[in-house]
Chains A and B, each alone.
Chain A
Amino acid sequence: MSLMSEVGQKAFNLGVPLAVHMDVTYRCNERCVHCYLDHDDHGEMTTAEIKDALDQLAEAGVFFLSFSGGEVFLRRDFFEIVEYARRLLFNVKIKTNAVMIHEKEARRIRELAVDTIQISVYSHRPEVHDAITKLPHSFERTIKAIRFLHEQGVRVTIANVLMTVNSSDHSGVQELAAELGVQYTLDPTITPMMDGDTSVLSLRIPGEELTEVFHNPALVGSQEEFCAPPKPPSEEDLEGYSCSAGHSFCYISPYGDVFPCVQFPLPTGNIRQQKFLDIWNLSPELKKVRSIQAKDLTVCSSCSHVSSCTRCPGLAYMEGSMRGPSTADCEKSFYRTGVPTANMLQQGLSKPRTLSGNPAPLIQIRPIAVPA
């Protein structure tokens, strides 16, 4: 076990919130077709409130802090917030579309010793990227920013969200990342809106295409390992917990709401009304999340995939029960290995039913005009 995973396990066992994802705004200068956010400002935390929250997080033992949005740089005080976080010695990661990062901002990011900047790039084809972000010239501006950051020696990761419209562009984006000298990471998961609206899910790439993604060694590494049929769950697997959400990780919204994860919209408290540690230690909802072991899961406990499945309790919660299966992960498990899931077997399906209830390949609902 690496030192990092040992530390992660220790925090998990002790119930220390080792990592926090904080969205500082939901406002954005792009209008990505797959985005799950309401971009209006409904009363974001002020600079002073965020600084107070950061003091509390440091005291609670948080080490890894990710700032995201919306577009973080739309907050004029964003550098002030990052500087404050760095003075409190957090390891800071920033997720951004980077269109507002120029040479000066890149230098400031390096001076503040930010760990990593994760930047969304949807395609190596400017017209496809811009059609997804709906911001003209966003590709050009984002790539320029990546060059500035790289020149400063800042670690950059390109995050490539795959959906119907760009599902064949991953190798192009990978090549672009290599040319720019930055890391590449793939995300084939489109998530529902925080309010449970699942309409954006129709942008998810169809399951059949996931097979191609999951069997591409350039994307998943050793295919034999990645696509191996699931091993039968052991006693230990069944006593295991899902992910770190609510155990050693949580999400804080721009309005101060605390959730187990950005993808797990179970309200647990608000830091404008309560101390962070009171929410973390006393919230009945968080206690409930922490109590769930694999053997307590309604369908998954009898599934052959349970020990290797990426089952997201947040997505399961949005589907109706945090103890239930998550259809998106059933899809991944099935198309990765070809072995039917308990969820499918229970419903008598030969392939996973999509979330919309439509067994046909997913089609995009909001048409995107991609110039030829």
Chain B
Amino acid sequence: MPEDCIYIARSSAIAARALAGEMMVMNSADSTFFTLNEVATAIFQAADGHTPLREIVRDRICEQFDVDSEQAQADAEQFVAELSSHGILLVSNQPLAPEAPR
């Protein structure tokens, strides 16, 4: 999948809340529980299904956290892969409709 085309959306099965700048995320399907650091929280919050990951990294990460873009992109992809393997983020090369609990 070419990197430019990665779209991410939050799953409808999750619960999430910020606690002192860090996001707590729990997947109700298997009760996996994560806390995300500030950078990961920024990606998670921007996961609207229609902004490409590369754009999220450029606008939300590189600018705000002053990090190198290649490194940030690689870290973001690893983070996205991990959260998607736990069913917390949905990943596609097509824009995704954000899932709301039905």
Contacts and interface: CB of A to CB of B under 8 A. Distances in A.
Interface string B80-96: 00000000000000000
Nearest to A93: B28
Contacts of B102: 83, 111-112
Interface residues of B, number: 20
A10 B21 CA distance: 12
A83 B101 CA distance: 7
B28 A113 contact: yes
Contacts of B12: 113
Interface in B1-55: 12-20, 24, 26, 28-29, 31, 33-35
A62 B17 contact: yes
Interface string A128-155: 0000000000000000000000000101
B39 to A, nearest CB: 18
B26 A91 contact: yes
**Binding site secondary structure of chain B:** strand
A87 B33 CA distance: 19
A227 interface: no
A150 to B, nearest CB: 14
A63 B33 contact: no
B95 to A, nearest CB: 21
Interface in B55-102: 100-102
Contacts of A155: 28, 31
Nearest to A83: B101
Interface string A100-116: 00000000000111110
Contact of B17 (A14, A61, A87, A112): A61
Chain A interface: which size bin?
20 to 34
A299 interface: no
A63 B101 contact: no
A113 B12 CA distance: 7
Given A3-B35, A7-B35, A91-B26, A113 B19 contact: no
A11 interface: yes
A156 B23 CA distance: 26
Contacts of A14: 19-20
Contacts of B20: 10, 14, 16
Nearest to A90: B15
B19 A63 contact: yes
Given A111-B102, A113-B12, A16 B19 contact: yes
B19 A112 contact: no
B18 A113 contact: no
A115 to B, nearest CB: 5
A113 B16 CA distance: 13
A92 B19 contact: no
B27 to A, nearest CB: 9
Instruction: Give the interface centre of A87, A91, A114 by most chain B CB atoms within 10 Å.
Output: A91
B19 A7 contact: yes
A61 B28 contact: no
A87 B100 contact: yes
Contacts of A10: 19-20
Contact of B15 (A7, A91, A153): A91
Given A7-B19, A7-B24, A63-B17, A113 B33 contact: no
Nearest to B12: A113
A207 to B, nearest CB: 35
B15 A92 contact: yes
A62 B18 CA distance: 9
* A16, A113, A155, most chain B CB atoms within 10 A: A113
A58 B33 contact: no
17 contacts: A3-B34, A3-B35, A10-B20, A62-B17, A63-B17, A83-B101, A86-B15, A89-B14, A89-B15, A89-B17, A91-B15, A91-B28, A92-B15, A112-B101, A114-B28, A115-B15, A115-B28
Interface of B: 12-20, 24, 26, 28-29, 31, 33-35, 100-102
For the complex of A and B, list the 9 residue pairs with the smallest distance between their C-beta atoms, beginning with the closest: A91-B15, A86-B101, A63-B17, A113-B13, A113-B28, A89-B16, A115-B28, A111-B102, A112-B101
